[in-house]
Chain A
Amino acid sequence: MNTFFVLYRKELLEMLRNYKWIWVPLVFILLGAMQPVTTYFLPQILAGAGNMPEGAVIEIPTPQGSEVLAQTLQQYNTLGVLIITLSFMAVISGERNSGTAAMILVKPVSYTTFVLSKWSAMLSLTAVAFTAGYAVSLYYTNILIGDVGAGGFWKSLLIYMIWLLFVGTLTVTSSALLRSPGGAAFTALGATAVLAIATSLFPKAMAWSPGKLTGLAAQSMQTGLWDEKTWMVVLLSFVIVALMIMISVLALRSKPSLDN
């Protein structure tokens, strides 16, 4: 346990020194603020665009606050996921390629601890960035658009966090399996996209797929719903995350450095 915290602290410190603690939350906060702000100013923006015919009346129904937050989640579906994969694409391969993994793993540190420290650091940064961004989105939505129920907010936050955890873990595992960071990012993004498509194409077969998480998050934002189906999806996601961590550990053990 002690070595876990030592390595976990090292990971957090590294993300501080390379400014990940700044720019990843910043991107999430900007994306989060943008949705309610642009929604609020959309009529003015369109009017100011100037190429409207004289006398045209722009009627844009003002959306509900909960809809705006659901749209924020959609932003995170693309850009948020991209940022997470890019941030962690070298989390294991980088240390293996440079040889630092071998320097650490000749000390009495278990391979599982090594992977878990990195995974936990990934989770910490992701959770903080996403929570900050989503909270900012909630704040501006409340001010500019209208009150949003707290129950829906917390439920959607939790469900969406599990989705990001899933994507982050996928990235960690890809970086344990592949030498190239670009390849790992591509694999993680590709797998995420395939999962999303397959989930929408085969709703029956993929009823418990983690790909459902994004939809469930948006839905629980608007309805405050967390039913049995949500539980199954969450449960299955956790199982897959655990499996992916195990695969990462095995991959690292069989190849702790390039010349194995």
Chain B
Amino acid sequence: MALVQVEQLTKTFGSTRAVDGISFAIGQGRCAALLGPNGAGKTTTIRMLTGLLTPTSGKIQFQELRPGADIRSVIGYLPQIPSFYGWMSGHEFLTLAGRLHGLRGKAAVKRSDELLERVGIAGAGRRKIAGYSGGMKQRLGLAQALVQRPKLLALDEPVSALDPVGRREVLELLRELKHETTVLFSTHVLHDAEELCDDVLIVRDGKIALQGAIGDIRAQHQKPVLLLQTEADEVSKRWLAEWNLRERPYIVDKESAEDRLRLVVSDIDTARSELLEELSRSQVKVRRLEIGHTSLEDLFMKVVTG
């Protein structure tokens, strides 16, 4: 069942259509990645979900929301660049967040302790946020988004600004969190989406270019790839140049340099046997011949640049 249903959501800033009629659903308990290059409209989409931005048009529907209830009470939001009151300690900020969500006195304090522990900054909890590192702020941001045990955790590029170690640690944390609640997170890195998520929404220029479960997308769009590398000697180079001149019906996509060739093909068997035969006939010095599949990365690049 879908937790959130978005229909024809649009946001225009002046003449820019930042988000241009996108529709999607996020299933209960799923982890969905909003994947797209910079400027695709990810932040704008998430901000509309959180109520910070009013959509120009379109609908956002939340299941499980009592009529008249505040949508903000069920969403935990971590902005792309979280800001805090530098004069507060991490613990004080979390307690403030908890109280704003209706936790009273001791309960808010207890929840703050739990969350600091949970995101791994318990040791710094009583220190001023002004002295926190980027990674610590990101963790605190995550903690404040979790304070009311949200139905939807909306994270805007939660790892983009972190160094490799911080990135690894926050990804680990997210991997645990996704078992507890529904997660929507945006990223421009396919790898993060693949690693963490069940579903992916690829956006480009404010539109959804492709969406679905990652496994399904991979299965549907995967095509055989043939990779050839030669020793770059004269004979092989000449052979490759000549080979390139001829049209072949099974080639879907071709990239070649003087010593290498990469083919996406429709019929791998024909391609393979034909190529092997020609290679041995012309005595090409093969260094590497590999048969594989297009990756999601290829698909992603095609979708966002094509």
Contact = CB atoms under 8 A, between A and B. Distances in A.
Nearest to B100: A107
B97 A107 contact: yes
Interface residues of A, number: 23
| Chain A facing B: main interface SS | helix
A107 B102 CA distance: 10
Given A6-B96, A260-B52, A260-B53, A103 B87 contact: no
A199 interface: no
Nearest to A3: B100
A104 B96 CA distance: 9
Nearest to A10: B96
Contact of A18 (B83, B84, B87, B144): B87
Contact of B81 (A6, A99, A106, A109): A99
A227 to B, nearest CB: 46
B100 A109 contact: yes
Contacts of B84: 100, 103
Interface string A1-27: 011001100100010011000000000
A102 B83 CA distance: 9
Contact of B52 (A6, A100, A105, A109): A105
B243 interface: no
Contacts of A10: 85, 96
Which of B43, B77, B84, B99: most chain A CB closer than 10 A? B99
Interface in B263-296: none
Interface string B149-177: 00000000000000000000000000000
Contacts of A48: none
A121 to B, nearest CB: 14
Interface of A: 2-3, 6-7, 10, 14, 17-18, 98-100, 102-109, 256-257, 259-260
Given A99-B83, A109-B100, 16 more contacts: A6-B96, A6-B100, A10-B85, A14-B87, A100-B84, A100-B85, A102-B52, A103-B79, A103-B84, A106-B52, A106-B72, A106-B75, A107-B73, A108-B70, A108-B73, A257-B52
12 contacts: A17-B87, A18-B87, A100-B83, A100-B84, A100-B85, A102-B83, A106-B77, A107-B97, A108-B70, A257-B52, A259-B43, A260-B53
